[in-house]
Structure 1
Amino acid sequence: MDTLAIFLVISVVLFFGFLAEYIFKKTSVPDVLLLIVLGLLLGQYGLDLVHPTDVAVAAPVFITFTLLFLLYDGAFKIDLASFTREFGASLKVTWFNFLLATGVISAALLLFGIGWKVALLVGFALGGISSAFTIPMLKQLNVSKKMHSILTLESAFTDVMCIVFALTMMDLIQAGTFSAQAIAGTIVSLFAVAGFIGVIGGVIWVFILTKILGKNIMNMITIAFLLVVYVVTEYLGGNGAIAGLFFGIVLKNSLQLHALLRQAMGVKEKQPRIHEKQKVGISVTTENEEEFYNEIAFFMKTLFFVYIGILLDFSDPFAVIIGATCAVLIMFIRPASNIITPELSEGDRTLMASMFARGIAGAAIMQIAVQRGIPQAGFLTAIVLVFVLFTILFSSTRLFFYRKKYLGKES
């Protein structure tokens, strides 16, 4: 594509993104579905303006930044109290859903005649819900802080788990070696390093903002520091996207963290440092800055789901059948998480059962599989993309009815 064509496509995509979001607010028809349809129309099943090869060079960087920024932006909806309170519940839900989904998908692929190593690879790649779908959808649905924290953390953690487990399976397929201890150690290392650097990076940046730079700075400089946090975390063996999540949580809750730190050090305050209504999550960032982040998140989300539509390939009927079948299975097993969350209300359990769409992690892993020459990588990619499409379709449909039933009066 030439430069003018690229600018025209981006312009059309962004205008359509705003239109899709407006339609969602008015009709409850999820905007992500409309964005995928636009991708199909721009790609080989419509106007044939954009081919996967046209975006192949920029795709790895684009996908990585999208995942990082959506997690960072999602952190601004997590207050400190709900984070600490729901962290344990989120881990419980995360492991339960991830292991169950991985097992079901792998078993289904085995029944379709796919080898166990490749089946497990795909199972791991698709075991977790998509942060690119979950976080924007939670913001649009305006759910409780409790559910926002649980589902945001689940989507963030499972994105990492999908990548770690799937890459380990690629090593097994290529080298023929396997170590459960190595997998466990890798996961612990990724989360520990990411959490530590994300928190320390957040503390350092709050100090720089308040003591050196002041508040009258460009918002982009914080994004620049976010990228530094990502690079340092990845270099030290952690997961940069998770570090971005913790970095955002520290920025969002900086005043309360400062008050708690002074209290722990025995410093007495004449006036409380926490908001007079004792609400958690007062940020050093301004409302305008958070709105700026929302705009970038909207831009990345819009391009990502259009990109998914461009990548979709229905030329292999067998891949379509496998992907659609696995999506149906995931839709039916997702409510099983209600077993371990009896304390949730009916509405919250319905929301959790409805949030099972896949996205960034699966697409990214399959690109790596192609690059590394994994057997049947092209066929597996077709399965994964069809699976992503149908899980988004099914999850969006369930969320449509959830919104009508539980948020109808608010809408």
Structure 2
Amino acid sequence: MGIIFTFFIIGLIIFIGFLGGLVFEKTKISEILVLIFIGIILGPVLKLLSPEKLSQFTEIFGALALMVILFEGGMELDLEKVFKTFSFAALLVSITFIGTTVAIALFTHLFWGYPFLEAFMLGAVLGCTSGAIVIPLVSKMNISQETKTILSLESVLSDVLAIVIMISLMKLASAKEPNMFLGFKDLASAFSVAAVIGILTGFLWLKILKTVKDKPFSYMITIAAVLCVYAITEFLGGNGPVSSLVFGLVLGNEEKIAPFFKIKKSELLGEKIKWFHSEFAFFIRTFFFVYIGMIFSLKDLSSDFFVGIAAIILLIFLVRYISTYSMVSVYKEKKEERYIIGTMAPRGLASAVLATVPIASGFALAGRFIEYTSMVIIATNIIVTVGVFVIERRTYDKRKGREVKND
């Protein structure tokens, strides 16, 4: 692919990403699906870049996308609402993730004949919703701020659960004496290390920004800080995406935190810094969705494949709706927004990254994980896009009806 054509494609993708945001405001049709299909055309269809060559960059691009998008998501979250909604989000992700993982594992074992270990690996890969997709999508929707916070938190926790469970299953497979409590230990360790590092570095960074915020290009060093926080957290055995979210949460709630550090309001994080990180996140997010389409792989067109994929997608949304309705029966104040909570189950780059892990470790039956995962990612994003469009239009029509009635 020539340099001129490459520049043209990059510019076109950015234009489409920007225009897609405007289209969503008017029509409630998400730009995510358009960007994914551009990726499919560039990759699997035109073969300008093959999915096989791109897959080697999945881990690093996935980490970058999660880090930047979750950092921006953290900056947009309200600290008080996070504390208020955390119990709901944690309970929702526990029921949904465990239920989906077990359901997919049992189906894979019975239908495709996978051993239980590989079956649960595929369940973990497909059990998590994508924070990198959910966070930017819900931020533009006409739903309560609390529900936005719940869905954002749930998607992040879901990604972390999937990563930790996959690592635990890999350790379980290689351990001479399997330990059932190993996963719980790893999970607690990953969360606690990430949270502590995110909080401490966030507080420290507010103090540093106090002295450098008026310097040229000071807004650039916060990106450098996010990269370092992510790397340090991973090195110390924590979860990088969670530390990025917490770091962003601290910076985004500076006005609530500033009094503890005797920082005056005029000295707080400037709008220029927030603007720059928002623009940078838009750039990464736009190419992330195109990349999802480019790594799409579909070699087997057998009926068993499509029946299996259809059943997995059905299980994902069935478990999601059962979990949602169970939750809103207890948290009755969320009953009005149960449809959007029940619909928000897109799979994304975390699943794509995790699908490659068992293959690299030599699990023979895991060779088809990428094909299954690619298809599920595309299908769930189509369903979520249609669901969001229908729900948003219904909300818009109800609001218009109330306005007419009041007039």
Determine if the TM-score, normalized by the shorter chain, exceeds 0.5. Answer: yes
Answering whether residue 356 of structure 2 is matched by residue 357 of structure 1, we say no
Answering whether residue 302 of structure 2 is matched by residue 302 of structure 1, we say no
Kindly provide the CA deviation profile for residues 11-67 of structure 1, in whole angstroms up to 9, marking residues without a partner as x: 23222222333332222222111111111111222x222212443443321110101
8 Å contact from structure 1 (residues 255, 283) kept in 2:
no
1:319 equivalent in structure 2: 305
Structure 1 segment 21-100 matched on structure 2, within 5 A: 21-45=21-45, 47-100=46-99
Structure 1 residue 130 displacement after superposition: 0.5
Gaps of 5+ in 1: 268-272, 275-281
Could you tell me how far apart the structure 2 residues matched to 1:144 and 1:286 are? 27
Could you tell me how far apart the structure 1 residues matched to 2:360 and 2:74 are? 32
Answering whether residue 277 of structure 2 is matched by residue 293 of structure 1, we say yes
1:101 equivalent in structure 2: 100
Over the matched positions of the two proteins, sequence identity in percent amounts to 29
8 Å contact from structure 1 (residues 251, 284) kept in 2:
no
1:372 equivalent in structure 2: 361
8 Å contact from structure 1 (residues 323, 387) kept in 2:
yes
1:277 equivalent in structure 2: none
Structure 1 residue 288 displacement after superposition: 3.5
- Pairs aligned (count): 393
* Matched letter for residue 253 of structure 1: N
8 Å contact from structure 2 (residues 70, 131) kept in 1:
yes
* Matched letter for residue 327 of structure 2: I
8 Å contact from structure 1 (residues 97, 334) kept in 2:
yes
8 Å contact from structure 2 (residues 68, 281) kept in 1:
yes
Could you tell me how far apart the structure 1 residues matched to 2:176 and 2:7 are? 46
Q: Secondary structure at the match of 1:119?
A: helix
Answering whether residue 335 of structure 2 is matched by residue 346 of structure 1, we say yes
8 Å contact from structure 2 (residues 52, 295) kept in 1:
no
Over 3 Å counting, the alpha-carbon distance change for 1:407 and 1:73 in structure 2 is farther
Structure 1 residue 2 displacement after superposition: 5.1
Choose between structure 1 and 2: higher helix proportion. 2
Which stretch shifts more, 360-369 or 235-244?
360-369
Could you tell me how far apart the structure 2 residues matched to 1:105 and 1:63 are? 24
2:375 equivalent in structure 1: 386
Structure 1 segment 2-401 matched on structure 2, within 5 A: 3-45=3-45, 47-112=46-111, 113-175=113-175, 178-210=178-210, 212-218=211-217, 219-259=219-259, 261=260, 284-317=268-301, 318-336=304-322, 337-341=324-328, 342-401=331-390
CA RMSD of aligned residues (A): 2.4
Could you tell me how far apart the structure 2 residues matched to 1:129 and 1:84 are? 21
8 Å contact from structure 2 (residues 93, 157) kept in 1:
yes
Gaps of 5+ in 2: 401-407
Q: Secondary structure at the match of 2:44?
A: coil
Could you tell me how far apart the structure 2 residues matched to 1:238 and 1:62 are? 19
TM superposition score normalised by structure 2: 0.90
Could you tell me how far apart the structure 2 residues matched to 1:12 and 1:178 are? 51
Could you tell me how far apart the structure 1 residues matched to 2:102 and 2:175 are? 23
* Matched letter for residue 388 of structure 1: I
8 Å contact from structure 2 (residues 292, 349) kept in 1:
no
**Comparing both chains, which one has the higher relative contact order based on Cα–Cα distances under 8 Å and sequence gaps of 6 or more?**
2
Structure 1 residue 175 displacement after superposition: 4.9
Q: Secondary structure at the match of 2:178?
A: coil
8 Å contact from structure 1 (residues 173, 374) kept in 2:
no
1:270 equivalent in structure 2: none
8 Å contact from structure 1 (residues 253, 283) kept in 2:
no
8 Å contact from structure 1 (residues 129, 358) kept in 2:
yes
2:405 equivalent in structure 1: none
Could you tell me how far apart the structure 1 residues matched to 2:80 and 2:398 are? 28
Could you tell me how far apart the structure 2 residues matched to 1:221 and 1:150 are? 30
